[in-house]
Amino acid sequence: MPLLDLLKNRYSVRAFLETPVPREILIEIFKGAQLSPSNCNVQPWQVYVISGALKDQLKESLLTAILSGKEPNPDFDWKVHYFGVHRERQFGSANALYGSMGIERSDKQARLDAMLRNWSFFDAPHVAFFTMEKYLKMMGAVDLGIYTQTLSLLMTERGISSCFQGALGQFPDPVRRLLNLPDSSGVLFGMSFGYADESKPVNATRTDRASMEEAVVFLE
Ligand SMILES: Cc1cc2nc3c(=O)[nH]c(=O)nc-3n(C[C@H](O)[C@H](O)[C@H](O)COP(=O)(O)O)c2cc1C
């Protein structure tokens, strides 16, 4: 499929079928993502793909931590306080998401339940955690952003859906324990992936984009 069609086809999926992705396809995709460029070719991504019983165990420990009222303690400076047009777009994406699920703005419990689905990995058979050395800060985050977009497009090409999840970096302690991460390393974010359950209303969510003219200025 031409790249532009892949970009048009990709969207965030938040309900998955149980069917796992065969290991040989996983290997092909993650091998492909290794071709991503990075600043000075440092390739700072250290990626963990968790599936099966270990994934279910992690889900339980994350939900236990969150439901106990724990405050988010991300390894990196990740605070989602948007202003101006960014805030408007944030509201736009939330409205698209909750609208597709038929959740009213005033229904706080339903919104919370939908949010908690992040830590159930939206029932996906696989979840990837993207970690890097903490000292890299913004430099590393740029590289990981490029890496993960490459990854998601390689997945789209093979009919595999995904959702980038900043939420998966908000409560890193159970993840750090499971992965035995050294203090020098942090969880930047995660991604649930697998085959989309097209019957679920949440997967009808579509977001719009600002026009190219709003984002790009050509000068000569
Ligand atoms: C870095 C990053 C973090 C995100 N974090 C979350 C998240 O925690 N939970 C979620 O449901 N969606 C998350 N998203 C998905 C965005 O909401 C989504 O990409 C955006 O609304 C555009 O919609 P689309 O992906 O369907 O085109 C994240 C996306 C990115 C790129």
Average pLDDT over residues 127-136: 98
**Phi, psi (rounded to 5 degrees) for 63:** -65, -35
Does ligand 1 have an atom closer than 6 angstroms to the CB of 93? Answer: yes
Candidate from 12, 88, 122, 193 with most ligand 1 atoms within 8 A of CB, to mutate: 12
Candidate from 6, 129, 163 with most ligand 1 atoms within 8 A of CB, to mutate: 163
**Ligand 1 centre from 86 Cα, in Å?**
14
Is residue 69 a part of any domain in this protein? yes
Domain residues for 91?
Answer: 3-203
**Ligand 1 centre from 117 Cα, in Å?**
13
Which residue blocks in 10-164 are alpha helix, DSSP H?
A: 23-33, 52-67, 84-100, 108-116, 137-157
Per cent of the chain over pLDDT 90 is 97
Sign of CA dihedral 31, 36, 37, 43: negative
Is residue 131 a part of any domain in this protein? yes
pLDDT score for 80: 81
pLDDT score for 61: 97
Does ligand 1 have an atom closer than 6 angstroms to the CB of 192? Answer: no
pLDDT score for 123: 98
Is residue 108 a part of any domain in this protein? yes
pLDDT score for 65: 95
CATH of residue 123's domain is: 3.40.109.10
> What's the distance, CA 3 to chain centroid?
21
Number of domain units in the chain: 1
Over residues 183-217, the pLDDT tens digits come to 999 999 999 999 999 999 999 999 999 999 999 99
Mean pLDDT of the chain: 97
pLDDT score for 175: 98
Helix (H, G, I), strand (E, B) or coil at 27: helix
Q: How far apart are CA 89 and CA 146, in angstroms?
A: 22
Q: How confident is the model at residue 125 (pLDDT cuts 50, 70, 90)?
A: very high
**Ligand 1 centre from 165 Cα, in Å?**
6
Per cent of the chain over pLDDT 70 is 100
